[in-house]
Amino acid sequence: MSYREIKLDAVERHRDRLFDRFGEKPVYERTDAVDPDRFEEWLEGSENGYVGSAYALVRRWPEQQAPLSETLPVDGPERERVLLILGRGNTKWSLPGGGRETDEPFERTVEREVREEVGIDIEPRTISHLRHDRIVCEGYDERLNMLRVFFRADYVDGSITVQPSELNGAVWVADPPDQDELHCGTKRALAGWSVGDDSLPEAERGDAG
């Protein structure tokens, strides 16, 4: 079937700009078939400028953590940690982030969304991967194109303050949950770190520490 592509040019333009700034990264492709009501919602959003979302693997090094209370014992040295969230109605852990607003660069999207969801200030440093989603529906000749951007970011400031209308919880983890407890995009973002790569190369750590 030949589709009328919606937002394909925008997806490709944003992808190329991100590659120019952060370097070329893997792009995974996925096609989802949805019901008509859901498709109409996505179609309206696309017509109003929606083109995708951005998420961040936020990493915090031991020297960035708050001083320990004198009454709290610690078994061993502090470790690097990453931030995971548990959304309302979800049973799997994921990365903080959310939808891009019109005319907003994706790196600004992820900064804003993380701040809104968990009260943390971050600085995007690089990209883990991207996902190009295509949304289709039986009976429609349109195909909606959306870009999901997964950043690696440095923790800058703040303590977890969960947005209760969206999240059930958030936590800094030194060891990720089991694979079957993670969303797919989170698995990919954690891939290098979860197999024992406890710290990024110094060049990717920015000013952290």
pLDDT at 206: 39
What count of Cα atoms within 13 Å lies in the side-chain half-sphere of residue 207?
5
Per-residue pLDDT of the chain (209 residues; tens, 9 = 90+): 688 999 999 999 999 999 999 999 999 999 999 999 999 999 999 999 999 999 999 999 888 887 777 777 667 677 889 999 999 888 899 999 999 998 899 999 999 999 999 999 999 999 999 999 999 999 999 999 999 999 999 999 999 999 889 899 999 998 888 999 999 889 999 886 643 344 444 334 433 32
Can you spell out the DSSP letters for 7-50?
SHHHHHHHHHHHHHHH----EEEEEEE--HHHHHHHHHHHHTT-
Distance CA 28, CA 131 (A): 5
Q: 3-state DSSP call for residue 200?
A: coil
Q: E strand or H helix at 192, and its extent?
A: helix 184-194
Structural domain 4-63+96-159, CATH architecture:
Alpha-Beta Complex (3.90)
pLDDT at 201: 41
Per-residue tokens: 182 = 């993670």
pLDDT at 208: 32
Each domain of the chain, given as residue ranges in start order, spans 4-63+96-159
pLDDT at 12: 97
* CA-to-CA separations, 3 to 111, 140, 164, in angstroms, rounded: 34, 8, 39
Per-residue tokens: 173 = 């983890």
Which residues in the chain belong to E strands, given as ranges? 4-6, 27-33, 52-60, 81-87, 97-99, 121-136, 142-157, 167-173
Our CA angle for 174, 153, 68, nearest 5°, is 45
Distance CA 88, CA 103 (A): 28
What is the 8-class DSSP label of residue 65? Answer: S
pTM: 0.88
pLDDT at 79: 83
